[in-house]
């Protein structure tokens, strides 16, 4: 029997549940690994002795790290809920399916903020230890770019885990999507001589979208938000009908 | 119902906002600190490039290339023509992320190959810096041409090997090298 779709379940309790999720062992391990890697990358790049070069290296590496860990965080968190029957238990105790959707959205937002904060703290520590000021990475624009890329990759993660409900397979498919997109991007670049077409791809496109010049044609602003909308909408359709 | 609307609409709104106010505006949330903005990166560029007499050289052209990149190799004869025509008043640098040994071996294996740019190979810090300055692809696609003035300000970044890019580089050089009467080069 399908449980209720909408509910009066208080938002405060949903936030409370999801906050507790951050203190689960898998979240702590994931956060610690991310923190140590950023610390290591920051410390390593300080060996260049040139602040601009070190910041440039961090600028190159941070979006890759941020998006990967956000995807892991979302898939591991939700995958655990599916495999352990957490959603089933919550539905029985008065949760609606719309609350599951809201939780899913909030997990992504938490993941995005968590890894930006951890990167901030790690680079602040690097500054104190090495004297190289990597904090200059944290301009408003860089943070927004990082969060944007995390959001897009995380949205795909939401879709994958909502549809597949299996952690391992969802992570595998995420990487397969990345590989396929890489192949298409190379085709655009070599065969069509227009790497800018990669903006039509969900993941590669987000990175181009993140730094579109102000005079870019209007259509280039459309694909990435459309993909995010589609990922969440399809996830909702799946959550609405899923057997938990 | 509002939870559903929030769940689906907020990520899209955030993506649109971050896209609109990201790299283009360059908001500074820590005023007073040196920022990783374009000016800082350009300062780094000045430190990392070989010393250039900017009184004599009014423009710097940096070409990001690699030995494995077909389009990069194909456009080298056109780039050499630019060096022949403007080389005495502009600096031409080609940067590859491959090792010096690899590039040297690759060149020595090709009898008639000539690349008249100053070659810098294996300097990954410089490559990272250039990639960051390339807003469109962040270095994921080459060749890329950086058109830089004598104050080390990157005025334009051109992506890809094409006759129109070569023409644009030449137009930039003509503009910067004021008073220099040049003959437009014939493209291959």
Distance from CA of A68 to the nearest CA of B (A): 18
- Who among B4, B35, B47 is closest to A101 (CB)? B4
- Who among A50, A189, A221 is closest to B47 (CB)? A50
List the single residue in B with minimal CA-CA distance to A45. Answer: B125
Interface test with A, best of B1, B2, B3 (most A CBs within 10 A): B3
Interval B11-31 mean pLDDT: 64
Q: What is the pLDDT of residues B66-103, one digit of tens each?
A: 888 888 898 999 999 999 998 888 889 999 888 888 88
Confidence of residue B34 (pLDDT cuts 50, 70, 90): very low
CB-CB under 8 Å, B11 with A145: no
Distance from CA of A43 to the nearest CA of B (A): 15
Whether a cis peptide bond, with omega within 30° of 0, leads into B143 is yes
Interval B56-60 mean pLDDT: 80
Cβ contacts of A240 on chain B, cutoff 8 Å: none
Q: Higher-confidence residue: A123 or A109?
A: A109
pTM for the full predicted model? 0.71
Alpha-carbon distance values, A237 to A11, A101, A167, B12 (Å): 21, 10, 20, 17
Return the number of other C-beta atoms located less than 10 Å from residue A176's C-beta.
10
Tell me if B153 sits within 8 A of B176, measured CB to CB.
no
A146 pLDDT higher than 70 = yes
Cβ contacts of A203 on chain B, cutoff 8 Å: none
ipTM of the complex: 0.83
| Rounded-to-integer distance, Cα A152 and Cα A158, Å | 10
B27 pLDDT higher than 60 = no
| Rounded-to-integer distance, Cα B24 and Cα B34, Å | 18
Tell me if B177 sits within 8 A of B89, measured CB to CB.
yes
A163 pLDDT higher than 80 = yes
- Who among B3, B19, B37 is closest to A98 (CB)? B3
Provide the percentage of residues in chain B whose pLDDT is more than 70.
78
CB-CB under 8 Å, A211 with B136: yes
Task: For B106-130, give the secondary structure using H, E and C.
Answer: HHHCCCCCCCCCEEEECCHHHHHHH
Confidence of residue B36 (pLDDT cuts 50, 70, 90): very low
pLDDT of B178 reads: 66
Phi/psi of residue B103, nearest 5 degrees: -65, -40
List the single residue in B with minimal CA-CA distance to A187. Answer: B141
List the single residue in A with minimal CA-CA distance to B33. Answer: A136
- What region, left, alpha or beta, does residue A85 occupy, with left being phi > 0 and alpha being psi -120 to 50 degrees? left
| Rounded-to-integer distance, Cα A33 and Cα B161, Å | 41
Q: What is the pLDDT of residues A80-112, one digit of tens each?
A: 888 888 888 888 877 888 888 999 999 999 999
Q: What is the pLDDT of residues B122-181, one digit of tens each?
A: 887 788 788 777 766 666 678 889 998 888 888 888 888 888 889 999 999 988 886 554
- Who among B10, B21, B44 is closest to A144 (CB)? B21
pLDDT of B139 reads: 67
Distance from CA of A44 to the nearest CA of B (A): 12
């Amino acid at each position: 029997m399908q449980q209720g779709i909408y509910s009066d379940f208080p938002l405060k309790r949903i936030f409370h549940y999801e906050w507790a999720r951050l203190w689960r062992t898998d979240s702590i391990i994931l956060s610690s690994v991310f923190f140590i890697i950023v610390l290591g990358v920051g410390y390593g790049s300080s060996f260049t002795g040139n602040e601009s070069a070190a910041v440039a290296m961090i600028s190159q590496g941070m979006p890759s790290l941020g998006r990967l860990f956000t995807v892991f965080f979302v898939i591991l968190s939700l995958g655990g809920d599916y495999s352990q029957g957490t959603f089933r238990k919550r539905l029985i105790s008065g949760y609606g399916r719309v609350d599951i959707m809201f939780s899913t959205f909030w997990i992504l937002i938490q993941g995005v903020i968590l890894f930006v904060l951890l990167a901030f703290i790690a680079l602040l520590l690097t500054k104190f230890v090495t004297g190289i000021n990597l904090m200059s990475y944290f301009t408003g624009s860089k943070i927004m770019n990082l969060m944007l890329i995390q959001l897009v990759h995380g949205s795909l993660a939401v879709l994958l885990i909502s549809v597949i409900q299996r952690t391992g397979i969802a992570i595998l498919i995420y990487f397969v999507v990345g590989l396929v997109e890489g192949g298409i991007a190379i085709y655009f670049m070599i065969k069509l001589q227009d790497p800018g077409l990669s903006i039509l791809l969900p993941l590669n496109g987000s990175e181009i979208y993140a730094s579109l010049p102000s005079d870019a044609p209007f259509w280039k602003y459309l694909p990435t938000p459309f993909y995010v909308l589609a990922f969440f909408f399809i996830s909702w359709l799946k959550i609405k009908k899923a057997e938990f | 119902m509002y939870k559903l609307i929030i769940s689906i609409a907020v990520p899209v709104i955030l993506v649109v906002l971050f896209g609109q106010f990201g790299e283009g505006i360059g908001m500074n949330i820590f005023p007073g600190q040196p920022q990783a903005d374009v000016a800082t990166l350009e300062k780094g560029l000045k430190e990392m490039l070989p010393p250039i007499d900017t009184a004599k050289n009014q423009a710097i052209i940096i070409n990001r290339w690699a030995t494995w990149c077909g389009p990069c190799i194909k456009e080298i004869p056109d780039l050499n023509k630019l060096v022949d025509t403007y080389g005495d008043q502009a600096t031409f640098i080609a940067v590859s992320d491959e090792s010096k040994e690899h590039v040297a071996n690759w060149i020595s294996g090709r009898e008639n190959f000539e690349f008249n740019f100053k070659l810098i190979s294996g300097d990954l810090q410089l490559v990272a810096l250039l990639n960051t300055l390339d807003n469109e692809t962040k270095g994921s696609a080459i060749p890329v041409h950086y058109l830089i003035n004598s104050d080390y300000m990157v005025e334009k970044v051109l992506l890809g090997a094409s006759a129109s890019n070569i023409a644009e580089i030449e137009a930039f050089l003509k503009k910067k090298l004021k008073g220099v009467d040049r003959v437009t080069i014939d493209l291959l």
